[in-house]
Chain A
């Protein structure tokens, strides 16, 4: 089954700690995205990548970092510089070739210990 897998489903971060959220897709999509979802707010774009080894900041990139070493994978690191990391994080992917909307994984909920 083709899809986007995010892990873990739940994650807890201690003060001063960096944590990495995993996102893997087997849809052969070239573009991948990370969003943050908070109650009462729309999805906000953190980072996106259109090709391997290249990525761009979204609207709220401060305190986050990403890498795109493989087409299938786009991990997100929430660094200690992100002072309010508690949120639901969503990974998405899309195919620019077929010009189709983004498809999403099932998210990772990050909380502060």
Chain B
């Protein structure tokens, strides 16, 4: 079993929809949680990061962490075609040096 599980998709949604992207994990020691967006043939771009549990909002993006369920989510409101990319979750026990990445979920927002 992988430490971090992420549905590879692809996930296709119409423009304007609310998108929910999720990861589950097995290591209860994870405390730092990150979401990256990766366009084709590009490097991952940091979207959001949180420490421990709770929610964090930044514009159309909301990150949620539920440590009791070992489950993290990224919500995208009013999705745009430019949001079409692969979304990687990532997490670590201590700081941001040794990070474990999910395999990524491919999102397609259809105009």
Residues on A close to B: CB < 8 A?
Answer: 4, 6, 31, 40-43, 45, 48, 50, 90, 92, 94, 96, 99-107, 109
Tell me how far the C-beta of A88 lies from the nearest C-beta in chain B, rounded to whole angstroms: 8
Once the chains are docked, how many angstroms separate the CA of A45 from the CA of B3?
15
Please tell me if the beta carbons of B96 and A101 are within 8 angstroms of each other in the complex.
yes
**What count of chain B residues pass the 8 Å CB interface test?**
25
Q: Across the interface, do A103 and B46 meet the contact criterion of CB distance under 8 Å?
A: yes
Q: Which residues of A contact B104 (CB under 8 A)?
A: 42
B41 to chain A, nearest CB (A): 7
Give the contacting residue for A42; candidates B42, B43, B100; CB below 8 A: B100
Say yes or no: A102 contacts B103, CB within 8 Å: no
Task: Indicate if the CB atoms of B96 and A42 lie closer than 8 Å.
Answer: no
